[in-house]
Structure 1
Amino acid sequence: MTSASRYLSERIALPADAVYEFTSAPENLPRWAAGLATTVSKQGDRWVIGDDGAELIFTPRNDFGILDHWVRPPDGAEVYSPMRVIPDGDDAAEVMFTLRRLPGITDDEFERDADLVQADLTRLREVLESAQR
């Protein structure tokens, strides 16, 4: 079964390696990704987000800007989210997120999810660029 996807992105006026460094650290999520996590804690070798104890699993650190991650709620249903940081010249980057439409999601819910992800990406840009001023 295939699902629809929406590709969302934000250009950030910082080098890709700096964007990747900040974005790949799960402890930074509450600063920019409120749509995903308002709290993050390390429990042993696991990252746990939110009050319900969902597990967050990131792709291992890499030189390619890959930030794919999986959210595994306590019920075990896993959600995969592809994400990339790619260079845009030497002094900027584009952060790209693929929002996958889950089974049973209405058009309105999918639009709401897209708006939340875009707001998170915009907040990421604001946080990173304001730190450079």
Structure 2
Amino acid sequence: MVSVSNSKTVSVSIKRKPNEVYDYIFNPENLPKWAGAFSLGISKSSTEGEWIVETPEGPVKIRFVERNKFGVLDHYVSPAPDQVILNPMRVIPNSSGSEVIFTLFQLPDMSDEKFSEDAGLVESDLRSLKSALEG
């Protein structure tokens, strides 16, 4: 049986070239600068390509997909050893600027209220990203 989760896709338009936006987001050390609702701090993990993010709920592991020319910034968040959450994210051209797109999925044990709250936090973080990049 095939199942699907509730999802919400949020986006923000940024007046910067797509490669500049991509490079900024792809650098995990920038995460606390624009994703303050999620990241209070970040440090490299001992595992290659993995980072430890200090969140309001405690430390979580994060790993981005490999650098690519398609603007894909999907990342995997592991709040617990047996839990891996995919966060699809893209940077695409919008005229001469960029559009950043993030899709949030409602987890099986997540209430509708918590899902709505998380979506609001993602929207806030994307507005912060826009501010950081448009200065």
TM-score, scaled relative to structure 2: 0.90
Q: Determine helix, strand or coil for the equivalent of 2:110.
A: coil
Q: How does 1:81-96 map to 2 (within 5 A)?
A: 81-90=87-96, 92-96=97-101
Q: Determine helix, strand or coil for the equivalent of 1:126.
A: helix
Q: Distance in 2 between the 1:104 and 1:74 partners? A: 14
Q: Distance in 1 between the 2:133 and 2:17 partners? A: 11
Divergent runs of 4+, >3 A? none
Q: Determine helix, strand or coil for the equivalent of 1:114.
A: helix
| 93-102 vs 46-55, which moves further | 46-55
- Matching of residue 54 in structure 1 with residue 60 in structure 2: yes
Aligned to 2:21: 19
Aligned to 1:118: 123
Q: CA deviation at 1:75?
A: 3.4
Gapped runs of 5+ residues in structure 1? none
Match 1:100 to one of 94, 97, 105: 105
| 43-52 vs 14-23, which moves further | 43-52
TM-score, scaled relative to structure 1: 0.92
Match 1:28 to one of 16, 26, 30: 30
Q: Distance in 2 between the 1:13 and 1:20 partners? A: 13
Q: Determine helix, strand or coil for the equivalent of 2:80.
A: coil
Q: Distance in 2 between the 1:47 and 1:120 partners? A: 19
Gapped runs of 5+ residues in structure 2? none
Q: Identity over the aligned pairs, expressed in percent? A: 39
Aligned to 2:79: 73
After superposition, the C-alpha distances for 1:56-79 in whole angstroms (9 at most, x for unaligned) are 010100001000000012332111
Q: Distance in 1 between the 2:43 and 2:100 partners? A: 24
Indicate conservation of the 8 Å contact 1:85/1:94, yes or no: yes
Say which structure is richer in strand.
2
Q: Distance in 1 between the 2:107 and 2:124 partners? A: 20
Q: Distance in 1 between the 2:128 and 2:62 partners? A: 20
Q: Give the superposed CA RMSD.
A: 1.2
Match for 1:29: what amino acid?
A: L
